[in-house]
Every structure is written in C-alpha cells, then in structure tokens.
Structure 1
Amino acid sequence: MNTATLSSGTRTTAQLARDVISLFKLRIGVLIMLTALVGMAITPGPAPSAWQVLVLALSVLLASASAGAFNQYVEHESDRLMQRTRRRAFATGALPHHPAWLVLMAALLGGAVASAWLALNAVAALHVFLGAFFYGVVYTLWLKRRTAWNIVIGGLAGSFAVLAGAAAVDPALGPLPWLLALVLFLWTPPHFWSLAIANSTDYAQAGVPMLPVVLGPQRAARVVLVSTVLLFLASLAPLAHGAGVAYGIGALAGGLHFVRKSWALARRPERATAMASFFASLIQLSLLLMAASLDALLR
C-alpha cells in the first residue's frame, strides 16, 4: 500500500469520525452536561460520590446525543435546503439514513435513563429523559414546523438538565435549582432567535416558521431584546434564595453584556448584530455557570 492510499484511508476514517461526532451534536451535549453538573453543585445536600457525578455527566450527555441525532435524522431533507445545515451527514448522504440509527438512538437514551435511575434516583432519571424528549419529540416533531414559538417550549430541554443534576442530590428540588432552570428556559429563545435572525433566509427557504420568518427581522429583534431583559432579571432572582456575591458578579457581567448586544440588534437587525447577540448569549451563559459553580464552591 502506497503513501497516497494510506493518506486517503486516514482522511476517510477521520471524516467518518467527524461525521459521527457532528451527528450527535456533542458540543451542545457538553454544554447541557455542564448545566446538569452545575445543578448538582448548587443544590444543598450530601456530597455525591465521584461515581455518581460521572454517571450524571454521561447520562445527560448520552441523552442529549440521542436527541440531537434524532433531530438530524428527522430533519435530513429540510437540512439540505439550509446553508447552515446542508453539510450534515444525513443531508449529504455521508451517513446512510437507515432505521438502524433509530435503534442506536433509543439504546443510548434507554441506557442513559437506566444508568441515572440505578446510580442516582428515579427523579433524576425522569429529568434526564424529559430533556431528550422535549428536544427530540416536542420541539422537533410537534412544534418546529407548526408555530413560530417552537423554541420557547423546546427550550425546556436545557432546564431539565439542571433539574436532573439537582435531583441527584435532593429529589425534593429546592428553589435555587428551579430558578436556575427558569434562567435556562428564558435563555434559549433569545439565544436561538438571534441565530435565526442571522439565518432567516435559510429558514424561509426550508419552510420553517421561525420567529424572524413570521414577524420579520425587525420585530423579531425587538422580541429578542425584551426576552434578554427578562432573562437578565430572572438571572438575579437566585440572589434572594441563597446565591452569593460570586454568582451576582457573573450574572451582572454576563447579563448586561447580552442586553447590550441585543439592544444593538434591535437598533440594527442585520446578520452582524444578530451573530454578535448570539455569541453574547454564549458568553452570558458561560459566565453564569462558572459563577454559580464558584459560588457553590465558596459556600
């Protein structure tokens, strides 16, 4: 076998690995996993073992992966119509669109839920399941093509990860994890709508009634601003329920940055300001999660 053949084989294997990783949306899965770990960290109660922390992280990651893959399996035809998604593995045919994938997705979700049940408790396992169910079924199958408010309810997927982590420590779920779950619920719409404004032509071409397609970019940008302000206010509520100074600093810094960028988007609803608002949402959530973790560590 010559060097060119070896190089070609290596590239093919590497591309296959990239396609599979992309299929399961592991970058999003890691973010959702981190929210679950923060939910565990902020909840008062007996410290979980290292084994339980690992099971929580993997169960949330695998459940998210199964839902992400199911989303791409269902959306493979419309993904071909969108610039942002047309290179996905099912859309290009790089991976075969075969029902065997559904078996694998179901096995991943079943294994994740069962592991959480056995190593943690039934309440944690229920929330692991609900996170995947709301993204894969409620959002992808029921809401995405029926209403411009699809992502609002679909955003509950991230909230359930926080509750899964909290339930692993205390199934009764106190006010702090519920408030952080509310923050995640309110974070998803302005985060996703900012991206949707930047890609509104894609969604219109694919026939997906995202908010900027239905309302137009200008009105949608104003909705993003209002949503971001509500998110910012909600992110301060944990301060009245035991969150400390470290959390407050992170909530203020990240929230004000996101509000500033969404204000710029409302003034000039165009791709550049929409992407700036989208990236600001990621910074806001990252600062909030880090601050909540630090705050729990200092308590």
Structure 2
Amino acid sequence: LDSRMVRTRSRPFVTGAFRASPAWLWAIGAMLVLAVAGAALLLNAAVAVHTFLGAFVYGVVYTVWLKRRSCLNIVLGGLAGSFAVLAGASAVDPSIPAAPLWLAVVLFLWTPPHFWSLAIALHEDYEAAGVPMLPVVIGDRRAALVILAHTLAVVAASLMPAFSGLGWIYLSLASLGGAWFIVGSVQLVRTPGRRAAMTNFRASLTQLGLLLTGAIVDPLILG
C-alpha cells in the first residue's frame, strides 16, 4: 500500500532500508506485552487495559480491518487516541475524573476531521491506492461539510473540561484553538481544494496543540 502513495513511498519498508519479515510482528508483539505488563506492574490495571486497547484499535481494528474496507476507518481509529488519554489519566487516578473523559471524547471527535482534511488535499493519492477515505467515497465538497460538522462537535466538547475541573487558562486556549479550527473548516466548505484542506489540516494541529497546552499549564498555575 505504501508504495502506491506518493506520501509514503519514502518509508523504510518501501525503499528497502528495512526488509519485511515475520520477525517484525514478533518484535511488535513483544513490545506490546512489555508495555502492558510494565503498566500493570508499575502503575495499575486500568493503565494496562487502556494501553492494550489503544494499540489493538490502531494496529488491528483500524490498520487491518477497516483502513482499506470502510470510509469509517478513521472514525473508529480515533478511539486509539482516546485510549491514550485514558491511559495517562488512569496513571494519576484510576477512577478517571470528568476532565480527562472529556479530553478522550475530544480526541475521538478530532481525529476524523484532521485526517479527512489531509485526505481532501491528497485525494488522488488515496484514490489511486484504493483507500476509501471519506472524500474519495462521497467527494470533497460533501466531505468538507462533514468535516465542519465534526469540527463544531470537537470545539463544543473541548470546552467541557473547563467546567469539569480545569480553569480559565484552559478555556482561553481551547476557545482560541477552536475558533481557528472552525474558521479553517468554514473556508474548506467554501473552497474544497488542496490549499484550503492543508490549511484546515494545520488548523486542527494548532487547535489540539493549544488545547493540550492548556490542559497541562492550567493545573500547574491555578492548582
């Protein structure tokens, strides 16, 4: 698959820098076992479960089952990011307070518009490779509308942690990043092409970066 996409043709397995072998699967499996076992022994069972589920969703559910079969691939694949948030939160408090739960929801909702924006920008690449990303299946214009709807949902969810334990610093950064993401998504609806798609792709990264910065800095300053 990587050899059929311009974006991924320079990856090590395509160029021959690494040679495909069953040994890689054993190595990946061993690292997963060590990660899960280490989390269980050094932290707690909740961290271990979320670590395993995150790896399973990304490596099996998304990559093996859905990536080349369904336009919902990245929707369910977004759960991998959610489990990463829950693993981190569980390391601090296995009961997982409301704010981290909302952040997990944000990661789940954020992943599709982030990657669908990239898929619009690289529409021909995904189409040539036979990957059924949403823009390939329903067209760029309709996909842009779905992206905008998801963006609005992401921004709404991203404000909730400010009312569930975090404070005004988080709210300010989440609002700023959310506004930036909405502007980018609206522009993508107006002109659904490569340039607007890449702008929105970068806006999604800015939004998530500001949000996570707020989640880290807010409790450090405000307690």
In which range does the TM-score fall when normalised by the shorter chain? over 0.9
In the TM superposition, what whole-angstrom CA distance separates every residue of 1:134-193 from its partner, at most 9, and x where no partner exists?
Answer: 000000111112211110100010111110011112111221111110011111011010
Report how far residue 201 of structure 1 moved.
Answer: 0.6
Structure 2: 5+ residue runs without aligned partners?
none
User: In 1, Cα distance between the equivalents of 2:67 and 2:25?
Assistant: 20
Alignment pair present for 1:280 and 2:203: yes
User: In 1, Cα distance between the equivalents of 2:67 and 2:8?
Assistant: 15
User: In 2, Cα distance between the equivalents of 1:266 and 1:135?
Assistant: 29
SS in structure 1 at match of 2:74:
helix
User: In 1, Cα distance between the equivalents of 2:193 and 2:15?
Assistant: 29
1:171-250 equivalence runs, <5 A = 171-250=94-173
Identify the residue that residue 108 of structure 1 maps to in structure 2: 31
User: In 2, Cα distance between the equivalents of 1:205 and 1:135?
Assistant: 23
Report how far residue 239 of structure 1 moved.
Answer: 2.0
Structure 1: 5+ residue runs without aligned partners?
1-77
User: In 1, Cα distance between the equivalents of 2:166 and 2:95?
Assistant: 19
Count of aligned pairs: 222
1:47-126 equivalence runs, <5 A = 78-126=1-49
Q: CA RMSD in A?
A: 0.9
User: In 2, Cα distance between the equivalents of 1:290 and 1:240?
Assistant: 17
Runs of 4+ more than 3 Å apart? none
Return the match for 1:160 from 83, 91, 97. Answer: 83
Report how far residue 258 of structure 1 moved.
Answer: 0.6
Counterpart of 2:102, as a letter, is L
Identity among equivalent positions (%) equals: 59
Return the match for 2:55 from 110, 118, 132. Answer: 132
User: In 1, Cα distance between the equivalents of 2:62 and 2:202?
Assistant: 23
**Structure-1-length-normalised TM-score:** 0.73
User: In 2, Cα distance between the equivalents of 1:140 and 1:154?
Assistant: 8
SS in structure 2 at match of 1:84:
helix
SS in structure 2 at match of 1:80:
helix
Report how far residue 240 of structure 1 moved.
Answer: 2.0
